[in-house]
Structure 1
C-alpha cells in the first residue's frame, strides 16, 4: 500500500523482564517523528517514519495519525505508561512543532483510555541509565544493553527500555539493581496517582 510518507516495518527485539514474579504492565515510550521507541513486557519495538519538507498539512497529519495508531496498538492495556517529556534544548530544531503535536496526540489518547501516564524528563532518563543526566544517547544505549542484557539496535529502543525500567522501579519492581545515584533520578519525574495499583 502506498503511503504519504516513507515508512519501514517496525523492528522488534527481545528485551523483556527478568524471570520471576508477575510484573506490573508498564510501557516506556520515547516519542519521535523519525523513530518512536516502545518497550513493554514483550520486548522493544521501533516505529520509523520519514517526512519531507514539502509535505502538506494532510501529509503531516497522516504521518502523526499513523505513528499514534501504531503506538497505541503496541502499548495495548497497561498499568502505567512512562513517556519521555519534551526536550526543551531541541525546541528550535526543524519538526519541533509536529513533534509537540505527536506527543500530545499520543499522551491524550492514553489519557482517554484511562491509562496513567508518567512524564520522565530526558535528563532523568539519562541519569537513571548512566548516573549522569547529560549522557549522550550512545552511552545510554550501551548502559541499557549491559544492565538488562538486551539486544537493542537503536537508541530509541534503549530510551524506551530505560523509561519502562523507571516505571517498574517506581512501582517497587525494578528490572535490575541500580546505584543510589541512578535511583535518585526517579524523584525528578512526574508520577501519576495510581490508586488501583497496590504497592
Structure 2
C-alpha cells in the first residue's frame, strides 16, 4: 500500500460545542480489468490482472472473481464507497467484461449494505484538476501534489481522488480544494446521506 498522508490530520477538529465530528471510512474505487485502483484510510493499492482475447468463459469469470474478491477484502466495511462510473465513450476492449466487473463489485458492496456513490469520470477529473477533460497524467500529478501522496499508478491516483470526493461530501475533506474543483461534487450520484451517517 502507498502512504497517503498523516491520518491524524484527516479529520479537522470541530468546535467543542458541536461535539466530535464523525470519522468516516470512505473507499475510492477505480474499477478496471487491468488494474483496479483502491484507496482507503490505510492508503492506496492496485489489483493488476491480465487477459487475452481468446480466454474462455471460465478464465474470464475467474479473472473477474479474483478482482472482486481482492477489492472486497481490501475495502472491508466502510461507510461509503465512491466508484468511478462507466465511461460511455469507451468502445474498445472488453466492453461486456468491464461492465460485468463493474456490476459485480457494486453488487458486492450493496450486499454488505455499503452505500455507493457513482462518480462520472469527468467529475473525478474536475475535482482533481479543475478541468473535466484532464488526462490521467494530470490527475496523477494533482493527487500527488495536493495530498502529498506517492502514487505509482494513475489507477491509484483516480481511487484517491474518488475517496477525497466522498470525504468532502461528508464534510471531512482530506485537503482544501478550490470552489471550481468542488463544483464537481454536483455531478455525482450520491446515496441518501442518512444511509451513510447512520
- Please report the TM-score for the alignment, with normalisation by the length of structure 1: 0.91
Alpha-carbon distance in structure 2 between the residues aligned to 1:166 and 1:189: 9
Match of 2:3 among 6, 10, 14: 14
Task: For residues 119-144 of structure 1, give each alpha carbon's deviation from its aligned partner in whole angstroms, at most 9, with x where no partner exists.
Answer: 00000000000000000000000000
Alpha-carbon distance in structure 2 between the residues aligned to 1:147 and 1:69: 31
Q: How does 1:47-62 map to 2 (within 5 A)?
A: 47-62=47-62
Alpha-carbon distance in structure 2 between the residues aligned to 1:98 and 1:131: 31
In the alignment, which residue of structure 2 is the partner of 1:118? 117
SS at match of 2:193: coil
In the alignment, which residue of structure 2 is the partner of 1:151? 150
SS at match of 2:65: helix
Please say if residues 80 and 196 of structure 2, whose CA atoms lie closer than 8 Å, have aligned partners that are also in contact.
Answer: no
Alpha-carbon distance in structure 1 between the residues aligned to 2:93 and 2:165: 29
Alpha-carbon distance in structure 2 between the residues aligned to 1:179 and 1:191: 21
Moved more, 175-184 or 21-30: 21-30
SS at match of 1:169: helix
1:168 aligns with 2:167: yes
Instruction: Show structure 1 runs of 5+ residues with no match.
Output: 1-11
SS at match of 2:46: strand
SS at match of 1:88: coil
Q: How many residues align?
A: 187
Please say if residues 126 and 135 of structure 1, whose CA atoms lie closer than 8 Å, have aligned partners that are also in contact.
Answer: yes
In the alignment, which residue of structure 1 is the partner of 2:42? 42
Instruction: Show structure 2 runs of 5+ residues with no match.
Output: 12-21
In the alignment, which residue of structure 1 is the partner of 2:17? none
Structure 1 residue ranges, 4+ long, deviating more than 6 angstroms after superposition: none
Task: For residues 77-119 of structure 1, give each alpha carbon's deviation from its aligned partner in whole angstroms, at most 9, with x where no partner exists.
Answer: 00000000000111x1111110000000000010111000000
- Please report the TM-score for the alignment, with normalisation by the length of structure 2: 0.91
SS at match of 1:45: strand
Please say if residues 143 and 161 of structure 2, whose CA atoms lie closer than 8 Å, have aligned partners that are also in contact.
Answer: yes
Please say if residues 45 and 156 of structure 2, whose CA atoms lie closer than 8 Å, have aligned partners that are also in contact.
Answer: yes
SS at match of 2:49: strand
Alpha-carbon distance in structure 1 between the residues aligned to 2:82 and 2:165: 8
